[in-house]
Amino acid sequence: MNIKLPKDGYHSYLAYTLIILYCAWCAILGGDFDVYLMAADKLKGLGNIYDPCFTKGSECLQYYYSPLFALVLVPFTFLPKFFIEFIWLMLSAYWLYRIWNLAKDHFYVDFLTKRERIFWTIFSFIFILRFVIYNFSMIQVTIFLMWATLEGLVLFRKSKHAVGGLIVSLACNIKLLPIIFIPYLIYRREWKGFAYTITFFTLSLFLPAFIFGYDFNNFLLTEWWKAINPTNKEFVIEAGLGPHSLVALVPVLITNTTAEFNIQRNFINLDLKTVELILNLTRLCFIALTLFFLKSLPFMKNDSKLKNFWEYSYLFVVTPLLFPHQQKYAFIYIFPAIIYLTYFFIADYKSQRRFKILSILFVVNALMFTPIIGSDILGRYVYDWLQYFRVLTYSILFLIVTLLICSPKKLTAILKSNEDY
């Protein structure tokens, strides 16, 4: 039997092969998923999975995820670690692909030629490649969280509230990042989606009690909150090189901190209580900025898929900024914003090029999200220097400004000005 591959079949098979090999390589090296499996293994003996930390080589790593996530992983502790982590990475590749397809459904894709659609796809992924690599090399859960949130939002729009609520609640349970979308559901009058999400989330907190009993489950929930409580002293000022969020940016500008480089970052030296107050006020400003993106009174639905996606994009971008202890891999959350802005500037270039300077600035800024900004290319000193001065966080803030300027109203005007619309 002669099987004819599609014209681009060989390219697709080459891409699939490279993805499989890369996932296998990352699984061999291991990552943060090792800690999740260690926690699950400890849970089998009814141990406290939040204290002490888990040792991996010379590192002491904390488990920050839910008791339910550790419980779900318990059966997989009997299987080879490589197999579990390889499967998770392959699923992560699928979830990333699924996010792309869910996103495309919010745009008028036919406006772009085939060549322009290829550019849209390529650059959307190139501009987040740095964070994709972080998530795969560290075997993280962030891609799953982003997919589950976006999938749930789309299901709510399709009136599949129970399934959507189950998916979003599971993401919220594993790690609290997606919980920022729950107030959004209320604001957009997605009552059923909100009700199902809250119900399933509450159930997920107490589901392990059926296995371990109420007292032990309550103990684990208390220990989990102790580990992730944003008021913890270590989450007020994060001066090291790893974290990138408002917690890592604002305090180092307004108080003296000791870190890897003996270079002053602060322009004023305030006491700890004042620093915490200013940090929380800054967070409130970014939360208030959500209202600008919503641009409507509360409890009103929005029928524009394009505007919906613009709103989602901001919420995804701002999430890792608001939460403490956010590492670089968390900024894979900029993917929806990158998809939106890449489409915006391609459409603008095709039409009247009203935003030519902004598009150039966007591309230059987006280089921060590519592997070009890496220790292998820049060298360890320059790379650490960029982290020390929070250049990545500033790039994320510029991305928000760009998203703010490139509204759906302006994008619609660009589309309507072109005869292909």
DSSP line for 247-301: HHHHHHHHS----SS-----SS---HHHHHHHHHHHHHHHHHHHHHHH-S-SS--
**For the whole model, what pTM was predicted?**
0.94
pLDDT of 216 reads: 96
Residues written for the chain: 421
In sequence order, which residues have a C-beta less than 8 Å from that of residue 273 and are 6 or more positions away? none
Return the amino acid letter for 139. I
Contact 201, 148 (CB under 8 A): no
pLDDT of 5 reads: 42
pLDDT of 10 reads: 67
373 vs 143: which has the higher pLDDT: 143
pLDDT of 257 reads: 85
Query: Running DSSP on this structure, what letter comes out for residue 352?
Result: T
- Give the closest residue to 335 by CA, choosing from 165, 150, 125: 125
pLDDT of 302 reads: 87
90-127 pLDDT per residue, tens? 999 999 999 999 999 999 999 999 999 999 999 999 99
pLDDT of 4 reads: 47
String of b and e for 134-159 (b: at least 16 CB within 10 Å)?
Answer: bbbbbbbbbbbbbbbbbbbbbbbbee
| H-run or E-run covering 204 | helix 191-206
| H-run or E-run covering 61 | strand 59-61
| β-pair partners for 61 | 54
